[in-house]
Amino acid sequence: GQQLNQSPQSMFIQEGEDVSMNCTSSSIFNTWLWYKQDPGEGPVLLIALYKAGELTSNGRLTAQFGITRKDSFLNISASIPSDVGIYFCAGGLGNTPLVFGKGTRLSVIA
Amino acid sequence: DAGVIQSPRHEVTEMGQEVTLRCKPISGHDYLFWYRQTMMRGLELLIYFNNNVPIDDSGMPEDRFSAKMPNASFSTLKIQPSEPRDSAVYFCASSLNVGGAEAFFGQGTRLTVV
């Protein structure tokens, strides 16, 4: 089945640094979603992208839907301690369930 | 809406016992998904329903696992008999459609089988 390669698997950064993570696929998607999972909680949607090339921001978060429809990235600017968690990308094709990446575990050192 | 509600939040049980996890999806969402999360395998889709009908259960690991959705506001995931390797966090999610819309997750049930 479809698989998403999410990288990096984990990151340790200093508070205030910018963060970049990405997701790639061997097949195309019509939707890209980014979720964040806080410790002990379920994933929560951060950003949804519906069009190839689309660039969307949500506060300090910026995500892009790759022009080839096979990739997406998420940037976090000026990280803060509450950014700690696991970030998941998910690809959607409209007629099958979302495919999730394995997550990027972010640790922020104050 | 209160979001997707799962119960219990934590479950510790002995090997061989039956375990039942419960989920109440967001009202109006036609799709319900059960996921299992482990460190090794990440988020795995176990089964999903459309309008209370199971559509794809190919992710259910073994016959020990079963899921039902008797009505639009309730679903269960049952493991009988449970084994230590079933220990994981189980999430329920719901959405308006299957792949183009956002899936909303519950807080999960952390299952420990000893």
Q: Facing residues of B2 across strands? A: none
Among A35, A44, A94, beta carbon nearest to B99: A94
Residue A36 is predicted with a pLDDT of 97
Q: Which residues of A touch B91 (CB under 8 A)?
A: 42-43
Closest CA to B75 of B83, B85, B67: B67
Residue A65 is predicted with a pLDDT of 96
User: Is A27 part of the contact surface with chain B (CB cutoff 8 Å)?
Assistant: no
User: Is A44 part of the contact surface with chain B (CB cutoff 8 Å)?
Assistant: yes
Rounded to the nearest integer, the mean pLDDT of chain B is 94
Residue A1 is predicted with a pLDDT of 58
Give the pLDDT confidence of B7-62 residue by residue, as tens digits. 999 999 999 999 999 999 999 999 999 999 998 888 999 999 999 999 999 999 98
Whether the pLDDT of residue B100 is over 80: the answer is no
In Å, how far is A100's CA from the nearest CA of chain B?
Answer: 7
User: Is B40 part of the contact surface with chain A (CB cutoff 8 Å)?
Assistant: no
Question: What are the C-alpha distances in Å from A12 to residues A15, A17, A54, A84?
Answer: 10, 10, 28, 10
Whether the pLDDT of residue B1 is over 80: the answer is no
Confidence of residue B2 (pLDDT cuts 50, 70, 90): confident
Residue A94 is predicted with a pLDDT of 76
Instruction: Answer whether B34's CB lies under 8 Å from B108's CB.
Output: no
- Quote the CA–CA distance of B36 and A28 in Å, as a whole number: 25
Residue B90 is predicted with a pLDDT of 98
Helices marked H in A1-110 — which ranges? none
- Quote the CA–CA distance of A19 and B110 in Å, as a whole number: 30
Cβ distance of B105 and A31 shorter than 8 Å = no
Residue B32 is predicted with a pLDDT of 96
Below-50 pLDDT ranges, chain A = none
Q: Which residues of A touch B99 (CB under 8 A)?
A: 30-31, 92-98
Residue of B nearest to A32 (CA): B100
